[in-house]
Amino acid sequence: MEKKRVLITGGAGFLGSHLCDRFLAEGYHVIAMDNLVTGDLENIQHLFGKKDFEFHHHDVSKFVFVPGKLDYILHFASPASPIDYLKIPIQTLKVGSLGTHNLLGLARVKGARMLIASTSEVYGDPEIHPQVEEYFGNVNPVGPRGCYDEAKRFQEAITMAYHNHHGLETRIVRIFNTYGPRMRLNDGRVLPAFLSQALRGENLTVFGDGSQTRSFCYVDDLIEGIYRLLLSDYHLPVNIGNPSEITIKEFGEEIARLTGVEFKPDYKPLPENDPMKRRPDISKAKEVLGWEPKVDRAEGLRRTLEYFQERVK
């Protein structure tokens, strides 16, 4: 039987590269696409030379073409950390809007099913807790995070329009904070920042008083949820994340313990519009996909530490 073919945009990124691994392991032909603005070929170098893997160096904000049949498109191209999208806000808006439009068009032409990587950022600084998919969110469109949050909200809206208007098969995953090997050491997010600082013997930069919360999901769990969602018949948004919630200060203390250093915080101002709390309600993922996370933070952090130990200088 002919192999199913999947296009993964952002294929050289943190999540995209793990998706490439998973789909290859499941017997698909994988086409990874990336413009390498925040992605890194090191994440997929082990895949070059495999007969079922191709890499296309391309910016999906420009017209996208892929020869041959396509069964699935997973749109994971986007800067995703606050320092990245603050540096390149217009590219961030374009990849979520024009990029998504181009890929939806490609999906129509190919008769492919399209899954988009949305985010817990669509909830903004949430007024309800934990966040359920029905919550509309509390986003400041003109704040510093607006370029990312509104690109992702537009992405959901245009994806729903293609579903409703053109009958396109679409899936929407709302991804909560995820961590694991292949996170960029300098991407500015809290886990790479804390781990790199701890391994270098530096103080940990805690923003605000560290009482804001996040809920961290290990990457393998996230990939499993995405895989199940793609193959499900559910077209409305689904939260995928780990509901185990922790304050950023406690998280710093955990990282310090893990790396065997004393917890020494360096308090910095809280960035504008930084959400005060975040935790997914995953009832929908449980009900529709039979999914829940399996890797707890202790185990996930141990696996991630190994990756950082080999790279932090």
Q: Which of 79, 82, 99, 126 binds ligand UDP (CB under 6 A)?
A: 82
**Binding range to ligand UDP, per CB under 6 A, among 24-32, 33-41, 186-194, 228-236:** 186-194
For 170, phi and psi rounded to 5 degrees?
-135, 155
Q: For residue 260, give Cα distances in angstroms to 25, 116, 130, 193, 198.
A: 36, 39, 32, 16, 9
Nearest CB to ligand UDP, comparing residues 148 and 162: 148
Q: By CB under 6 A, is residue 207 in contact with ligand UDP?
A: yes
Smallest distance, Å, CB 125 to ligand UDP?
10
**Binding range to ligand UDP, per CB under 6 A, among 17-25, 102-110, 205-213, 218-226:** 205-213
Nearest CB to ligand UDP, comparing residues 190 and 217: 190
User: What CA–CA distance (Å, rounded) separates 63 from 103?
Assistant: 9
Q: By CB under 6 A, is residue 193 in contact with ligand UDP?
A: yes
Angle at 141 between CA 136 and CA 145, to 5 degrees: 100
**Among candidate residues 154, 84, 112, the one with its CA nearest the CA of residue 8:** 112
**Binding range to ligand UDP, per CB under 6 A, among 18-26, 27-35, 202-210, 220-228:** 202-210
Q: Which of 56, 271, 303, 312 binds ligand UDP (CB under 6 A)?
A: 271
Smallest distance, Å, CB 273 to ligand UDP?
9
Nearest CB to ligand UDP, comparing residues 2 and 272: 272
Catalytic hit among 85, 123, 148, 179 = 148
Q: Which of 38, 131, 178, 212 binds ligand UDP (CB under 6 A)?
A: 212
Q: By CB under 6 A, is residue 122 in contact with ligand UDP?
A: no
Site string for ligand UDP, 159-178 (x = CB under 6 A): ------------------x-
Q: How many CB atoms lie within 10 A of CB 159?
A: 26
Nearest CB to ligand UDP, comparing residues 102 and 177: 177
User: What CA–CA distance (Å, rounded) separates 230 from 218?
Assistant: 19
The contacts of residue 176 (CB under 8 Å, 6+ apart) are 119, 120, 215, 217, 239, 240, 241, 242, 278, 279, 280
Total residues binding ligand UDP (CB under 6 A)? 15
Q: By CB under 6 A, is residue 222 in contact with ligand UDP?
A: no
Within residues 242-261, the interface with ligand UDP by CB under 6 A covers 248
The contacts of residue 198 (CB under 8 Å, 6+ apart) are 204, 255, 256, 258, 259, 261
Nearest CB to ligand UDP, comparing residues 27 and 201: 201
- Asked about 148 being catalytic, the answer comes back as yes
Smallest distance, Å, CB 292 to ligand UDP?
21
Smallest distance, Å, CB 122 to ligand UDP?
12
- Residues at the interface with ligand UDP (CB under 6 A): 81-82, 177, 189-190, 193, 205-207, 212, 214, 248, 270-271, 274
> Active-site positions?
148
